[in-house]
Structure 1
Amino acid sequence: MHPRIPDLEALSAMLHEFVVEREWGQFHTPKNLATALSVEAAELLEPFQWLSTGDGSELTESARAAVRLEMGDVLAYLLLLADRMGVDLYEALAEKIAINAKKYPVDKARGRSEKYTAYEGK
């Protein structure tokens, strides 16, 4: 078992209460939540769309605030989806890191941005 971050659990509880109070759970099918997550992730890209380098330092204060709020939306829908699907996000991330560690060994992947298939088997 991996250690828990109480703040993430507290956020999930706050979010659950918010949804229950509004009786929105009836709309939160996995498909709807995954769709909403995708939409919010796309909205996260908008402030970066026409930046010269894409570096965060190019963002205006209002754009940084918009990015921050979109991150909140992405996290909210991810937490809701995980709850609805019974997915332990800590376990899912730990598993994914272990898988990626095998795909991207340090000696082959360090400083490279290519997909693992670019150096797989070498």
Structure 2
Amino acid sequence: MNLSELTARLHAIRDHNDWKRFHSPKNLAMAASVEMAELVEIFQWLGEDESRRLPPDQLDHAGQEVGDIVLYLLLLCSELGIDMEQVVRAKLTDSERRFRT
């Protein structure tokens, strides 16, 4: 996954639709949170086993919501000047240090 390419494509959509004025860090964080809530809603009343065996339409829906979340986070990182790949790698390294046995 080339995050720079994805971000550039998102910026093209944003700029074509004149949405930059709405893409403050606050608004993008809130939008990502709303999309996360939509993902959670898919699993809301499922048991543990059911949540691991989503029917194809629900699995597709979950994938769409994951995509929405990632795209909003890419835009948020862009607005804040955060290198997503760098912070994800740093967090993973920290988790490996803290939780590996």
- TM > 0.5 fold call: yes
Counterpart residue number, 2:51: 55
SS in 1 for 2:45: coil
Ranges of 4+ aligned residues in structure 1 off by more than 4 Å = none
SS in 1 for 2:68: helix
SS in 1 for 2:46: coil
Mapped partners of 1:46, 1:101: distance in 2: 30
- Deviation track 1:47-106 (CA, whole Å, cap 9, x = no partner) reads 11111215331x2222112111111110110010000000001110111122222322x2
1:10 matched to 2:12? The reply is no
Counterpart residue number, 2:72: 77
User: TM-score of the superposition, structure 2-length normalised?
Assistant: 0.89
Mapped partners of 2:38, 2:10: distance in 1: 20
- Gapped regions of structure 1 (runs ≥ 5): 108-122
- Residue identity over aligned pairs, in percent, reads 37
1:98 matched to 2:93? The reply is yes
Higher relative contact order structure (alpha carbons within 8 Å, sequence separation ≥ 6): 2
Mapped partners of 1:22, 1:80: distance in 2: 15
- Gapped regions of structure 2 (runs ≥ 5): none
State the Cα RMSD in Å: 1.4
Task: Return the structure number with greater helix share.
Answer: 2
SS in 2 for 1:50: coil
SS in 2 for 1:55: helix
- What is the Cα deviation at residue 30 of structure 1? 0.5
SS in 2 for 1:23: coil
